[in-house]
Amino acid sequence: MLTLRLIISFLVGGIFIALQTLMAERVHGKWRNIVLTIPSTLALGLFFVGFTKTPNDVVEAARIVPAALAPDYLFVAVFALLSRFSFLLSLIGGLLAWAIPAYFLMQFPPATFASSAFLYGLPLVFAGYLSVRFLPQVSNLRTFPMTPFHIAIRSLIGGTIIALIVVLANTLGNLWGGLFSAFPAAFTSTFIIYYRLQGKAVIPAVARSLFFPGAIGFMVYAWIAALSFPVYGIWLGTLAAYLATFFFFWLSNRLYDIITA
């Protein structure tokens, strides 16, 4: 049964994340950050934790998500900072920037959702944003056709991470599943394709667009998931978490429009 669920999680996760990153190339720049930061790896990861275990296990997995966003966004910042040198250096540096703090996070996990968000997650997310916002920004992206290669690479990265979340949650525990639910699968596939097709000059602007309101949206999703999954189950819990996240995105865009009017 677990093998079948792993196959389902790999296929569903891969297709979902591939479509998300492909869509982001085809929308106006104002909406690109929203599309790229719609919870995909996170949503599928928590869903399959509840699917392969129980909805109550999602509470523990979701608790670590805000803290796990710190290494996630350090990956984004380091990749952008190193993008001027080479793709390989950017990827290796970014993955190390994710792996090292992720290791220490598992040694000292947060005790509550509030400490996960305000002591672990948000300070480093803001630090990553400040390091990226002053880099040269080139935001004009070209649209490329959906080729089998592009779909395959995005699906492979996304599906592998979703399947890994299920394995870790069922073997090492819910905190590991929650940690990898925040792994930058969609960000990684986006950077790989953008660097290859759009060139390194666009990477800082793409990286900057991923921070806000996306980082807060991930936290909103995890918080509502932790509240709703044990009560309503994995399907309605996922719906509730998505509705809350989309409402937050709508509200943040409305506020942005009012402030900049």
- The residue among 149 and 64 whose pLDDT is bigger is 64
So what's the pLDDT on residue 144? 63
Give the mean model confidence (pLDDT) for residues 62-81. Answer: 94
| Reduced 3-state DSSP string for the chain | CHHHHHHHHHHHHHHHHHHHHHHHCCCCHHHHHHHHCCCCHHHHHHHHHHHHCCCCHHHHHHHCHHHHHHHHHHHHHHHHHHCCCCHHHHHHHHHHHHHHHHHHHHHCCCCCHHHHHHHHHHHHHHHHHHHHHCCCCCCCCCCCCCCHHHHHHHHHHHHHHHHHHHHHHHHCCHHHHHHHHCCCHHHHHHHHHHHHHCCHHHHHHHHHHCCCCHHHHHHHHHHHHHHHHHHHHHHHHHHHHHHHHHHHHHHHHHHHHHHHC
Is the pTM of the predicted complex or chain greater than 0.75? yes
Q: What is the pLDDT of residues 200-231, one digit of tens each?
A: 998 998 899 889 888 999 999 999 999 999 99
pLDDT 10s digits, 40-54: 878 888 998 898 889
Q: Which residue has the higher pLDDT, 12 or 191?
A: 191
Can you tell me the mean pLDDT for 84-112?
Answer: 91
Looking at residue 84, its pLDDT comes to 92
Instruction: Give the residue with greater pLDDT, 164 vs 95.
Output: 95
Average pLDDT of 239-260? 90
Task: Supply the mean pLDDT for the chain.
Answer: 85
